[in-house]
Amino acid sequence: MRTAPTILHLDMDAFFASVEQASKPSLRGKAVVVGGLGPRGVVATCSYEARVFGVHSAMPMGQARRLAPHAAYLVPRFELYRSISEQVMRLLRELSPLVEPLSLDEAFVDLEAGGVARDAESARGAGEKLRAAIRTVTGLTGSVGLAASKMLAKIASEQAKPDGLVLIPPGTERAMLEPMTVRTLPGVGPATGDHLRRAGITTVGEIAEAGEDELVRLLGKAHGHALYAMALARDERPVVAERETKSVSVEDTYDVDIHDRVRVGVEVGRLADRCVRRLRASGLSGRTIVLKVRRYDFSTLTRSETLRGPTDDPAVVREAAARLLDSVDTTGGVRLLGVGVSGLADYTQEDLFAQAAGDRAEEPAEETEAEPAEEHRPSPAERRWPAGHDVRHTELGHGWVQGSGLGRVTVRFETPYSQVGRVRTFPVDDPELSPADPLPLVAEPEGGAAQPSSLPLPLPASLPKSWSGGGGAAATSKP
C-alpha cells in the first residue's frame, strides 16, 4: 500500500436532488425526492432535508411519501445529470490521467499519477482546490476522501459528507477502522453483517481479532480472505482509468401487471430496439441476448441465448428475445421486463443477419428510427408533463412542472439565476406551453468565456516540505 494519501475519492452530495435544488430556487433548503413517481417507483436519491424524515435511496416511493408528505417529488432528468457529471469528470481528468468513474456522481483519482500530489499536504491542497472548482463550474458540492488506498479513500469521503474533506494519514488506518461497524467494509451487506453478528463479530477490530481461518470458516475462502485483508487496511487495488463495459441492457417496471401475452411480446420487442440503440451509440455489438422477467409474485427469471458471433442488428436481437420469451411462463402477470446484450465486441459479423427468422429484406434495420417523427408526435392533449421537468411559455418564459392532473398542469416560472418564481396553472393542451431544455446551473460569465477551473498545476521536480498545493486548507469535518 502507498505511503502517502494520494488516492482521492469524490462523491457528489445527494447528486440528483442537489441538481434539482440548484436549478429551482424555490426548492433550495427544502426536502426533495427524485425517483419514479408511479405506484411501484423507488427513490433514486433525496436531499439531506428529506433524509431527516427517514427517506433514503432505494426506498419505495409510497413509503417516502408517508414519511415526508410535504416534500417535492420529481421525475429524474438523466440527460441533465449526465451533462453535469461530464463537467465534473473533466475537472478530475485535469488532475490526473487515472480517473476511475464508478457512477455519474462518484469516482476515484490517482493524484500521484497526475503529478499533483506526493504527500499529505499537497494531496489536501489538491482536494480542496477540486472542491472549489466543482462549486465554481457546477454550483454543486462534493465530498472528498483522501487515503493511501481506494477502500480507505471511499470510507473517508463518506465521513466527509456533506461538503467536506477528510484525509486519513498513513499509519493511522488500523486505529481508525477498529471501532467501526462491520458494515463499513465493502461487500458486507445485511446478510453478511447478520452472519458475523451471530458469531459475535460486530466491529472491524473484531474481524481482525477473529483471524483469517475463522473468517474463512464463517464466510468461505474468497470472502473470508478478502474481509480479513480489508480489516487490516490492506487494499492494493490500483485506480483503473477504463472500466470495460460487460453488458448493455434496458428494463421497465410497469405500474400495473401486464397479463396480456401479446402485450408482453410487444414490450419485449420495444425493449430490444432500445437496447440496440444504446448498443450502437456505444459503438458495440454483442453475442449473448438476455431476457429478464419479474413476475407478479416478485420471482425473477432470466433466459439467455448466445449467437454465433456479435451483432448490433435490431431484428436479430428482437427475434432472439422473442424466442427466449417463449420459454417463460407469464401466467399471473408481469411487473418488470428487461432485455440485455453481453459478450460485447466492437465489430459485427455480417453472416449473423441470417439468424433472424423470416424475410428480413422487407424490414430495414433502421426502419423504426427512420419513421417520420410527426407520426409518433402526441397531440397537445396527449402531452405528458413530468414533475420537475423544464417548460417554456411564450409570454412567461422558462419554468418547471410542479404537477399535473385532471387536464391541468401547474408551472413555477423561475430559473437557476432568478428569485423564487410565481406559480401558474394551464390546461395541458395550452398551445403556448411547450417542453424545454434545462438551463445551465451556473450562468456563463460575460463574453461567454469558460470559468477557470483553478486546479493545481503539476508539481515541480522538487518541493519544500512545507508546500501546501496552493493554500492547503485544513480538513473540513463532517457537520
Lowest-pLDDT range, 1-10, 77-86, 386-395, 463-472? 463-472
Q: What residues are annotated to the active site?
A: 106
Residue 302 parent element (H or E) = strand 300-311
* 215: amino acid identity, one letter: L
Residue 354 covered by a domain? yes
Nearest-CA neighbor of 71 among 43, 40, 41? Answer: 43
- Shared domain check, 280 and 154: no
CATH number of residue 392's parent domain: 2.30.30
Residue 273 covered by a domain? yes
- Shared domain check, 301 and 446: no
Residue 154: per-residue pLDDT: 96
pLDDT category at 371 given cuts 50, 70, 90 is very low
pLDDT category at 8 given cuts 50, 70, 90 is very high
- Shared domain check, 195 and 206: yes
Give pLDDT tens digits for 217-245: 998 988 899 999 999 999 999 999 876 77
Give pLDDT tens digits for 65-77: 999 999 999 999 9
- Shared domain check, 310 and 388: no
- Shared domain check, 153 and 59: yes
CATH number of residue 451's parent domain: 3.30.70.270
- Shared domain check, 116 and 42: yes
Residue 478 covered by a domain? no
Total domains present in the chain = 4
**Do strands 142-147 and 165-167 pair parallel, antiparallel, or not at all (unpaired)?**
parallel
- Shared domain check, 224 and 149: no
Residue 358 covered by a domain? yes
| Alpha helices for 36-142 (secondary structure H) | 48-51, 61-67, 78-95, 111-114, 120-138
- Shared domain check, 460 and 389: no
Helix, strand or coil, per DSSP, at residue 301: strand
Residue 120 covered by a domain? yes
- Shared domain check, 395 and 307: no
Nearest-CA neighbor of 160 among 116, 124, 117? Answer: 124
Helix, strand or coil, per DSSP, at residue 390: strand
Residue 479 covered by a domain? no
pLDDT category at 445 given cuts 50, 70, 90 is low
- Shared domain check, 187 and 268: no
- Shared domain check, 128 and 253: no
End-of-domain residue from the set 326, 356, 375: 375
- Shared domain check, 252 and 147: no
Domain hosting residue 199, numbered range? 175-231
Give pLDDT tens digits for 79-111: 999 999 999 999 999 999 999 999 999 999 999
Residues constituting the chain: 479
Residues 6+ apart with CB under 8 A from 103: none
CATH number of residue 344's parent domain: 3.30.1490.100
End-of-domain residue from the set 375, 395, 415: 375
Nearest-CA neighbor of 401 among 420, 437, 429, 425? Answer: 425
Q: What angle do CA 66, 70, 75 make, to 5 degrees?
A: 85
Binding-site annotation: residue ranges: 11, 105
Q: What proportions of the chain, in percent to the nearest 5, are helix, strand and coil?
A: 35, 25, 40
Binding-site annotation: residue ranges for Mg(2+): 11, 105
Residue 311 covered by a domain? yes
Residue 263: per-residue pLDDT: 94
Alpha-carbon span 199 to 65, nearest angstrom: 38
